[in-house]
Amino acid sequence: VDPDVLAKLRAIVGERHVLVDPDLTAGYSVDWTGRFRGSASAVVRPASTAEVAAIVRICAAGRSPLVVQGGNTGLVGGSVPMAGEIVVHLGRLDHLEPVDTVAAQVTVGAGVRLALLHEHARLAGLAFGVDLGARDSCTIGGMIATNAGGINVVRHGMMRQQVMGIEAVLGDGSVVSHLSGLPKDNTGYDLAGLLTGSEGTLGVITRARLRLVPRYDERVTAVLGFADVKAAVGASGHLRRRLADLDALELMLAPGIALVLGTDYASAPDALRAPAVLLVEVAAHLDPTDAFASVVERLDLAAVPLVAIGSEQRARLWAIREGHTEAIGRLGPPIKLDVSVPIAEIARFVAALPAVVPDGAGLVVFGHLGDGNLHVNVTGVLRSVANEGGGPPPVLPPDATVESIEHDVLTLVVAHGGSISAEHGIGIAKVRHLTMCRSAEEIAAFRAIKRALDPHLILNPSVLVAGT
Amino acid sequence: VDPDVLAKLRAIVGERHVLVDPDLTAGYSVDWTGRFRGSASAVVRPASTAEVAAIVRICAAGRSPLVVQGGNTGLVGGSVPMAGEIVVHLGRLDHLEPVDTVAAQVTVGAGVRLALLHEHARLAGLAFGVDLGARDSCTIGGMIATNAGGINVVRHGMMRQQVMGIEAVLGDGSVVSHLSGLPKDNTGYDLAGLLTGSEGTLGVITRARLRLVPRYDERVTAVLGFADVKAAVGASGHLRRRLADLDALELMLAPGIALVLGTDYASAPDALRAPAVLLVEVAAHLDPTDAFASVVERLDLAAVPLVAIGSEQRARLWAIREGHTEAIGRLGPPIKLDVSVPIAEIARFVAALPAVVPDGAGLVVFGHLGDGNLHVNVTGVLRSVANEGGGPPPVLPPDATVESIEHDVLTLVVAHGGSISAEHGIGIAKVRHLTMCRSAEEIAAFRAIKRALDPHLILNPSVLVAGT
């Protein structure tokens, strides 16, 4: 980086919040999976929106590209400085304002971690509508920038549906701030919605006004077993329509469950050993057990439903679902593809998948059936690389096979009317695949918007609309 | 209009779908209230997205501004050709595809009328989440363009929350189409959300993929009376938090109810004669009466709740709420302002309103309390102008008093942290007020986006970001 730029950045945030020593910047230069490793020319840690704005103005004037980083828990490389960019790390923007219980909203800094927001809302008698596995690390700013999803989308929607207002610094350093959080406010274009999911390419989100949802204390968690994916999908439509209080609707298949349970699989209850399994959660103010039972008795199940009794059993059922990632990881690094498929096509898509996976590779599919979101994991293809010395994990080996498998799976997704990215975004990982599901006209519109809000093309330049 | 442009338009849509005779274009040149009256240089009625694209390309090449028109039921002049624009009327884009019951979605043309969509969804066992008084006339395209609201926002959100995908023609004539309706689809900027609420200034919406919601057949409709607005607002927070099935939460005040009921007011049930009245509706699959009763018994009411028994009583209660507009109209043309106020500020705002209204004027406030959306009506200020001959109503007299009252009320709204437009939009009516609640930086961002998607500035040029 230009020493003059560095000096200016130090003047803004203070000496100790500009890191240039490679030992210090290394941790900001790689994603947690180790797949994306770059090299930050500097890491800047602002503590306020005004500081972020000053940083962006310096970068804009110097045409110095920057990458915005929150919890760095993404899976597509969207917060990694692959081309030596300056990393603007927002962890210090961690102010959590008091909950506005009348509006059921809260204003938070971009650097607030999800688990803290959950706790904050809970103490006020409310809840936050998005939850996901990385809750202890991921930040609200990053979740907005990537329009994060997770396990409760079927009820509350993705991050975009939670964002009532945003404060952000655009690519020219101007600050747009609209945090009144009014549910109805038709006074111009929806900048908040546009910035949500823009993966740091249009503006640096510094604060947000979020809606909160009721805290439901009565829950039913159950496992339903079906003869095949088609039967599970059919039941999911019925459950979504008849259960207004449906909180989660997760699909697991026998290979994944067997992998998670290991030797315990043979003795597991019948519902868990069905070919296709739904993990269903209903949450309400009043005990939803009867409503749930009356809906379930009309389903064509392959086994007696397994209903959790008490929070411990509930946690055990969820552990099977959340244990998939770790169990898959034990087979060596997988090829992970996060995709959407229209619900009506899911059974056909899952049936067609094995044909596009190489002989000898493993295939584990699971996901958020309520949203048509599948996580496709191809195992046994990548070499397992030991993580030596406890440092950041190494880069996975480049492998033409990986590219071709990714391409074949995504081609199948698109052939079934699906999307190549459901909740993880495009990042760096899928830039080359974007044309598979977006037309030249749409990409031209994206680029026009990019140039409108980031005229010097300094924000996350390798991401999403790279090459603008 | 340039005869060459006209000839090209005729070649696209056919002779009989290009209107230039002033007798024929007159009906497209005024809004239904008569407040906004312009003069269309031509009216073009395309029947397909391809025809719309061809029209926009002709207009772009000729730098001929156009105004998009659907049901023309707006209240802010957003679909009126005030400067002799070409009107592109989308009434022929009225194709209603079969309901996808698995995804609970439907794809519809921009010209489909809301009431038809409601019926279409109902026959498939589902419902559409937005409803409003103009349901027989307003079109889905116009509702998306204005991000329409209405009476069920408290449960289902505004139009933006229903739009799962959009097909539109941008200002350069390019077509963007993304109608797969996948609930999770993080593959680029949210064009659908950006076009929603853009009031025809960024693109011409031709088709949309809409989410449908469950059809709830069990309802409780009740009137709750409170000692004052503050008590009603406090109760509304409690109702929103405890009733997951809350469908509507409407505020009425004694002056409005007295106006609607006339001589029947004195004999009305106590709940209806309280100073502040909530009309509450709960809808569910299973009878919500008990859940409703258990929540209501904890409220501090001024009178015994009035619960509708049967659909006829329900309709009578709703007729009081929906009769406000007509009853106000009987006093002569009102000054109508659609505003949002943070729920915590509503009581103070309503208390402060009389001071900014001239002596002798009447004041009727009602609205969607669940969303903080108030309709402020100032009566007895404008001259009543008879509507002669049954034609379109005449333009209201220009009146400096109107401007100053509008300005004073909106200033009060902003002072309470509110928005100058809740659900009606900016249109032409509030362009001059936009700076009251949007910063120079925000408006600059709006204009940059406008130029990005409508480079020749031909789409609804007098609306929203006029003067770009």
| Nearest by Cα to B381 from B352, B398, B407, B401 | B401
* CA A230 distance to own-chain centroid: 26
pLDDT for the residue B414:
97
Instruction: Give the pLDDT confidence score for residue B399 in this predicted structure.
Output: 54
pLDDT at B398 over 50: no
A 33-92: CB under 8 A from B: none
**pLDDT of residue B390 exceeding 50:** no
Evaluated on CA atoms B431, B435, B438, B442, the torsion sign reads positive
pLDDT value of residue A395: 42
Widest pairwise Cα distance in chain A: 71
State yes or no: pLDDT of B294 exceeds 50: yes
Does residue B428 surpass a pLDDT of 80? yes
* Average pLDDT value over all residues in chain A: 92
Stronger pLDDT, A384 or B431, i.e. the higher one: B431
Q: What is the DSSP letter of A153?
A: H
Q: CA-to-CA distance for A81 and A40, rounded, in angstroms?
A: 5
Condensed to tens digits (0 to 9), the pLDDT of residues A177-198 reads 999 999 999 999 999 999 999 9
Q: Can you tell me the distance from the alpha carbon of A282 to that of A248, in angstroms, rounded to the nearest whole number?
A: 7
* Nearest-neighbour CA in chain A from B441: distance (Å): 6
- Taking only the tens place, the pLDDT of each residue in B57-116 is 999 999 999 999 999 999 889 999 999 999 999 999 999 999 998 889 999 999 999 999
- How high is the pLDDT of residue B400? 58
Q: Chain A: nearest CA to B184, how far in angstroms?
A: 5
Distance CA A33, CA A306 (A): 34
Average pLDDT rounded to a whole number, residues A16-44? 92
What is the pLDDT, as a whole number, of residue B383?
57
What ipTM was assigned to the predicted interfaces of this complex?
0.93
When pLDDT is averaged across residues B2-9 and rounded to a whole number, the result is: 94
pLDDT value for B332: 79
B424 at interface of A, judged by CB pairs closer than 8 A: yes
Condensed to tens digits (0 to 9), the pLDDT of residues A163-179 reads 999 999 999 999 999 99
CA B231 to chain centre: 28
Q: How confident is the model at residue A218 (pLDDT cuts 50, 70, 90)?
A: very high
Residue A133 has pLDDT above 70, yes or no: yes
| pLDDT value, residue B34 | 78
Lowest mean pLDDT among A28-42, B9-23, B126-140, B189-203: A28-42
pLDDT score for A1: 81
**Residue numbers of A between 364 and 403 with CB closer than 8 Å to B:** 368, 371-373
Please tell me the predicted confidence (pLDDT) of residue B334.
84
Q: In the prediction, which pLDDT does A302 show? A: 95
What's the confidence (pLDDT) of residue B360?
82
Say if the Cβ atoms of B214 and A170 lie within 8 Å.
no
The whole-angstrom separation of Cα A402 and Cα A394 is 17
**What pLDDT score does A388 carry?**
35
Give residue-wise pLDDT tens across range B222-271.
Answer: 999 999 999 999 999 889 888 989 999 999 999 999 999 999 999 999 99
Confidence label for A468 from pLDDT (cuts 50, 70 and 90):
low
Taking residues A115-141, report their average pLDDT. Answer: 96
Identify the band that residue A385 occupies on the pLDDT scale cut at 50, 70 and 90: very low
What is the tens place of the pLDDT at every residue in A219-275?
A: 999 999 999 999 999 999 889 888 989 999 999 999 999 999 999 999 999 999 999
Closest CA to B190 of A411, A144, A238: A144
Could you tell me the two tokens for B425? 């939009």
* Cα Rg of chain A, angstroms: 23
Rounded to whole angstroms, the Cα distance separating A384 from A169 reads: 41
Residue found under tokens 């109508």: B336
Helix, strand, or coil (residue B273): helix
B441 to A196: CB separation less than 8 angstroms, yes or no: no
Contact flag B422-A149 (C-beta cutoff 8 Å): no
User: Which residues in chain A touch residue B101, judged by CB atoms under 8 angstroms apart?
Assistant: 237
Q: Which residues pair with B379 in a beta bridge?
A: B362
Decide if pLDDT at B368 tops 60. yes
Query: How does DSSP assign A33-64, residue by residue?
Result: TSS-B---SEEE--SSHHHHHHHHHHHHHHT-
Tokens read off for A139: 């930040």
The one-letter amino acid code at A141 reads: G
Q: Place A467 in a pLDDT band, splitting at 50, 70 and 90.
A: low
Token pair of B145 as six digits: 């363009």
Q: Per-residue pLDDT averaged across B314-331, rounded?
A: 92
Say which of B147, B186, B439 has its CB closest to residue A421. B186
Contact with chain A for residue B298, Cβ under 8 A: no
Q: Is A128 on the interface with B (CB under 8 A)?
A: no
- With a cut of 80, say whether residue A383 has pLDDT above it: no
Supply the pLDDT for residue A391: 39
Q: Does the pLDDT value for residue A56 go beyond 60?
A: yes
pLDDT in tens, B123-166: 999 999 999 988 999 999 999 999 999 999 999 999 999 999 99
Least confident of A413-422, B375-384, B413-422: B375-384
Q: What percent of chain A has pLDDT over 90?
A: 82
Whole-angstrom distance, CA of residue B115 vs CA of residue B427: 24
- Give the dihedral sign, CA B342/B346/B348/B350: positive
Residue of A nearest to B237 (CA): A102
pLDDT (tens digit per residue) in A279-327: 999 999 889 999 999 999 999 999 999 999 999 999 999 999 999 988 9
pLDDT at B19 over 90: yes
CB-nearest to B190 from A184, A194, A419 is A194
Q: What is the mean pLDDT of residues A57-70?
A: 96
Would you mind telling me the total number of residues written for chain B in this entry? 468
- φ/ψ of residue A42, rounded to 5: -165, 155
Q: For residue A385, count other CB atoms closer than 10 A to its CB.
A: 14
**Could you tell me the CA-to-CA distances from A391 to A23, A387, B397 in Å, in that order?**
11, 7, 75
Within 8 A of A183 by CB-CB distance, chain B residues are 153, 158, 340, 371-373
Kind of pairing, strands A86-89 and A42-44? Answer: parallel
> Is the CB of residue B419 less than 8 Å from the CB of residue A187?
yes
